[in-house]
Structure 1
Amino acid sequence: MLSALAEPTERDDESTLRPKRLSEFVGQPRVREQLELVLEGAQRRGQPPDHVLLSGPPGLGKTSLSMIIAAELGSAIRITSGPALERAGDLAAMLSNLVEGDVLFIDEIHRIARPAEEMLYLAMEDFRVDVVVGKGPGATSIPLEIAPFTLVGATTRSGQLTGPLRDRFGFTGHMEFYEPHELEQVLRRSATILGVDLRPEGAEEIAGRSRGTPRIANRLLRRVRDFAEVRADGEVTREVARAALKVYDVDDLGLDRLDRAVLSALVRSFGGGPVGVSTLAVAVGEEPTTVEEVCEPYLVRAGMLARTPRGRVATALAWAHLGLTPPPQAPGEGTRWPPVE
């Protein structure tokens, strides 16, 4: 429910709610202003803009911004992902079909295969690729000119990008988590599109539990809409939103069942830690990657979990959230971890 990763069944809903223009995009004021300057400057010069890299956690609007870039330029957009580009030939086929001014969007670009990445270097700089024909001593390299294009890359892990690839982007925008009042704007816009009778206090309640992520806010809005239509009069008030989110196990701080299970296991089974993520995952019956990528980022940001060299540690806030008294050595109580003997 509260994973910021997109579910396959959500693609159609997300496409309906995506903003179409930069003026419609809510939040990210710094990135929006910088991007507006990049695009307008390129249009005045009559040239494709520099390649754009968008980084940040999932669900914050990187894909939406890539589509907006194409719309603002009046260009077509070709969409692919890093894992889909396993061979250089896959990328060469896509690049050769581009028309001048097109936007090529590569999601999760840090996962692109190395042969395709090396081909991308030349394409980004000189709008040319070298296609190797044949094998062994008889192999020949055929240069292939491609139309000038703009590459938009999105990544949730910018640290995994290689230096040569990162340096070839002319503009890098880092997406930040949204403030509650920004999420309320997102929810009001989405409610208008979906035809939901959303009251201001209802929007405030949902926004406060959305982890600063528009994708989660829109997902919760759709679930609250279902509850309001089935068990209420269709109007999303604060009371209706609270009752709906209680049904879906989303508490006041935006924690769901899995988040609370992780904290409960850490506190009750391991005395607050430190404990390794693999052990913690076994205790809650999940994969380590799920705990590490879905639960931990928000728990750390909310100040309930601390990552230490010895393992994960529950903070005093986590103990208090579970209704327990934190021990003296719990981080957040004026002590440091590990405690001094």
Structure 2
Amino acid sequence: MAREKIIGPGGPSDDDRKRDAALRPKLLREVIGQKKVAERLQIAVDASRKLKEPLGHILFDGPPGLGKTTFATVLPNELSTTIQMTSGPALSKPADMLPFLTNLEEGSILFIDEIHRMPRVVEEFIYPAMEDFRIDIVLGEGVNARTISMTLKRFTLIGATTRGGMLSGPMRDRFKMREHLDYYTIGELAQIVGINAKKLNTPVSDGACNEIARRSRGTPRVANSLLHWARIYSAARSDGTISEPLAHEALDVKEVDADGLDKNDRRYLEVLIDVFSGGPTGVEAIGATMNISTDTLTDEIEPYLLREQFLVRSPRGRMATPKAFALLQKPFPKPRPDEKGPSLFD
């Protein structure tokens, strides 16, 4: 039987990407949240203008949906330059990089999303491009092979990754700036919801902005998705205005609860508690019971449960916390006298 693949609140669809692009800020001063990161980038932009030099290469890392692509698209607007965009999985061989590198303008930006998924052979090919603004092209094979060195325009490479640890050391060291993006506060998300609702010409109350923000997992992409749902729900069931009661009703229909958990998050906890007595158990066993791939569990479901302390990963497997038992209104089991090894009571 085929395993189910879930696109949860943290996993963007094509519609999510288009919607995010339309709602993104255009300049650094319009960015909400990530204040320290924006401040350091503004300093780098001001220096680039005064020194008449390209920005140094920049690496953004952090969980999905926190604004890595937003920062990458804001910077060329600040510098009045162009940007080319690609992704690590699309670059399977060095030749795939040539159209991007040879079409670069002086001071322009090349953005590579999911840069950790770029093959090592492509990484090594762009090392001289990043350091010396040149590339070496090998023509021919065997004894007739010769290398041509091509000079490039000075440019800025911006990489984005959700798994910074998967980048090789030499690649990571070639970025002059490395910025980690963290989750947003409810206040920041409420402000983002309010601004984006105006862009969508949708009246929304402050209470509705806070309600949407509270269920958005600290992530602007999720907030935009929930705002979109509340907007179409209001258009279908009301007068198009998103009030706090209507936002509450819309999100309940979408099965996103007050803690930001969706039906798959709750199903995970139900399986762990009802089937495996709260654990510890392996993720493979949970995936087999839910008929969902382990990659989906570890990449899309577990991170939020871990962050919100509904789940812990122990050497013996996944374990539900007292908070998870309370959420499902289940009594938390006392440790058995003969229980060995680490537990939540240690």
Q: What TM-score does the superposition give when structure 2 sets the normalisation length?
A: 0.94
Distance in 1 (CA, whole Å) between partners of 2:117 and 2:61 is 13
The Cα of 1:78 is off from its aligned counterpart by: 0.2
Deviations 1:30-63 (A, max 9, x none): 1000111111111110000110100000101110
5+ residue gaps, structure 2, are: 1-6
SS at match of 2:56: coil
Judging changes above 3 Å, is the alpha-carbon distance between structure 1 residues 338 and 238 closer, same or farther for their aligned structure 2 residues? closer
Does 2:19 match 1:13? yes
**Which residue number corresponds to residue 207 of structure 1?**
213
Deviations 1:219-269 (A, max 9, x none): 000101111111123221221111111111111101001000000000000
**Which residue number corresponds to residue 199 of structure 2?**
193
Does 2:105 match 1:107? no
> Where do residues 85-100 of structure 1 align in structure 2 (5 Å cutoff)?
85-100=91-106
**Which residue number corresponds to residue 56 of structure 2?**
50
**Which residue number corresponds to residue 291 of structure 1?**
297
**Which residue number corresponds to residue 171 of structure 2?**
165
**Which residue number corresponds to residue 69 of structure 1?**
75
Instruction: Please say which of residues 103-112 and 230-239 is displaced more in the overlay.
Output: 230-239
Give the letter aligned to residue 238 of structure 1.
Answer: E
Distance in 2 (CA, whole Å) between partners of 1:117 and 1:89 is 12
The Cα of 1:85 is off from its aligned counterpart by: 0.7
**Which residue number corresponds to residue 148 of structure 2?**
142
Contact 1:329 1:336 in 2 (8 A): no
Distance in 1 (CA, whole Å) between partners of 2:119 and 2:261 is 36
Q: Identity of counterpart residues, as a percentage? A: 42
Does 2:43 match 1:40? no
Give the letter aligned to residue 3 of structure 1.
Answer: P
Across the two proteins, how many residue pairs are aligned to each other?
336
Judging changes above 3 Å, is the alpha-carbon distance between structure 1 residues 314 and 75 closer, same or farther for their aligned structure 2 residues? same
Distance in 1 (CA, whole Å) between partners of 2:29 and 2:269 is 41
Distance in 2 (CA, whole Å) between partners of 1:233 and 1:98 is 49
Match of 1:321 among 293, 317, 327: 327
Distance in 2 (CA, whole Å) between partners of 1:53 and 1:211 is 24
Match of 2:277 among 262, 266, 271: 271
Distance in 2 (CA, whole Å) between partners of 1:168 and 1:304 is 38
Distance in 1 (CA, whole Å) between partners of 2:29 and 2:242 is 27
5+ residue gaps, structure 1, are: none
C-alpha RMSD over aligned residues: 1.5
Contact 1:92 1:129 in 2 (8 A): no
Distance in 2 (CA, whole Å) between partners of 1:339 and 1:202 is 39
Q: What TM-score does the superposition give when structure 1 sets the normalisation length?
A: 0.96
**Which residue number corresponds to residue 26 of structure 1?**
32
